Amino acid sequence: MAKTFERILVGVDDSADALLAFNYATHQAKRDDAELIIVSVLESDDMNVYQALDSDYVHGEHRELEEHVATYQQRAFDAGVARVRMVVAEGDPGETIVKDVIPHVKPDLLIVGSESKKGVRRHFGSQAAYMAKYAPISVLVIR
């Protein structure tokens, strides 16, 4: 019998791999009648020092990211997932998801894309590798 999950966490950004991960997570959540938690992380290292010190800028970026994640949430509802919530965090995506988000939401499965959209890290997939290595739960990396 195939393993079923009760709570699935999926990481999203603007990358094609993240969209694939989201689509897979939506399908899995619907199949397992699981709760789907959609997470995105505002990367503070992408801001220059002036932007990081400007609370209006940071709040604006955070609000834009929340609105973006809300579109994913609506798509999951439209696809038939009954329980969907979203989490927007700040920091380094891999570390933030492993050290802050997972202990807070207690998922059974993390689904992420293999490449991130931004920065040098996108070439190495280090965020996905970090999460696969250090997450205390099963991790599915989609490519």
Asked if 123 and 74 count as a contact pair (C-beta separation under 8 A), the reply is no
Structural domain contains residue 82: yes
Structural domain contains residue 132: yes
Query: SS3 for 45?
Result: helix
Q: Please give the DSSP secondary-structure letter assigned to residue 133.
A: H
pLDDT tens column, 84-141: 999 999 888 999 999 999 999 999 999 999 876 555 444 445 789 999 999 999 999 9
Helices (H) and strands (E) in the chain, counts: 6, 5
Q: Which residue carries 């990358």 as its tokens?
A: 15
pLDDT tens column, 18-54: 999 999 999 999 999 999 999 999 876 554 444 445 5
Structural domain containing residue 70: 7-142
Bridge partners (DSSP) of residue 11 are 39
For 60-75, give the DSSP string. HHHHHHHHHHHHHHHH
Structural domain contains residue 51: yes
Asked if 20 and 28 count as a contact pair (C-beta separation under 8 A), the reply is no
Q: What is the CATH number of the domain that holds 55?
A: 3.40.50.620
| Residue predicted with more confidence, 34 or 61 | 34
Domain count, the chain: 1
Note the maximum CA span of the chain.
54
Structural domain contains residue 58: yes
Contacts of 75 (CB under 8 A, 6+ apart): 22, 26
Query: Which pTM does this prediction carry?
Result: 0.85
Asked if 71 and 99 count as a contact pair (C-beta separation under 8 A), the reply is no
- The confidence score (pLDDT) of residue 65 equals 87
